[in-house]
Amino acid sequence: MDHNDETKATLQAQQPIPYGMQGLVAQQPPAQNWMPIPQVSGCPPGLEYLTQLDQVLIHQQIELLEVITDFETQNRYMLKNSLGQQCYYAHEESDLCMRLCCKNARGFVMHIDDNTGKEVIRLTREFKCCAGCCWCANTDHCAFMVNVESPVGNPIGQIRQDHYLWTPYFNILDANGEQIFKIKGPCCICTGPCCPNDVPFDIHPKDTSNPPIGRIAKQYGGFLREAYTKATNFSVSFPMDLDVKMKAVLIGATFLFDMMYFEQQKNNNG
């Protein structure tokens, strides 16, 4: 084991086990194929990877305890480039009672670490009683929102559920609260042999009258994965020259969509 591997292993061992899951949830597994960190000047620390990417693949890890017992565990994800090299690792922090009682409406903090184990992006969604109704999402206390920080403590943007009647919409805001993108989701989120393989969330500049510049897509994982687990696969595509902060916010939107639409008891989309 070389010095970098020893440092990585030490950092992983030092990470605290999230509240309520001591002894149950494994910590970050050793990475087998990390993407080299690009040497970029003037980039927010930890977001250097994103300067080289126009697509990120997000793979949720299957939790054996959850599959066998239906016990709601904290989600973990690997974020990779199109070559399969891992660039980030994400792990959820949430309260056990909230996971069991509130399911996909729970509040959570998503920690996104780089290949040294350092947290470089943090996503926060506060719990809101009765939030999530699309017809009432024109008010803040009824809309789901995720705040994005990078580095931790420095807000860079927000994902906000928008008011809609049928087709879901979300606004992507920058650190000043200015709308940069609008995301249009599908009317139907089902996947399977009789449905489209991907569930698309198209990224439009400010409003949907403009052609999309990117897409967040939930990918069909196969019958067994879809029928017996809640583990999901996503792809996020955006322009290569997009500001890395907005790339990070769009990645954050993926976790909101996963929680809202696909974090359900035994994925029944198969």
Segments making up each domain of the chain, as ranges: 46-262
SS3 of 178, please? coil
Give the strand pairing for 179-184 and 198-205. antiparallel
Residue 29 has a pLDDT of 52
Domain over 46-262 is classified CATH 3.40.50.300:
no
For the cut 50, the answer to whether the pLDDT of residue 257 exceeds it is yes
Give the strand pairing for 86-93 and 198-205. unpaired
One-letter amino acid of 21: M
Each residue's pLDDT tens digit, 55-111:
999 999 877 766 576 667 899 999 999 999 999 999 999 998 888 888 888 999 999
SS3 of 21, please? coil
> What secondary structure letter does DSSP report for 107?
-
Q: Which of 147, 92, 159 is nearest to 123 (CA)?
A: 147
Dihedral, CA of residue 27, residue 30, residue 34 and residue 40, to nearest 10: 50
Each residue's pLDDT tens digit, 163-200:
877 889 999 999 999 999 999 998 877 655 666 578 99
Q: What is the mean pLDDT of the chain?
A: 82
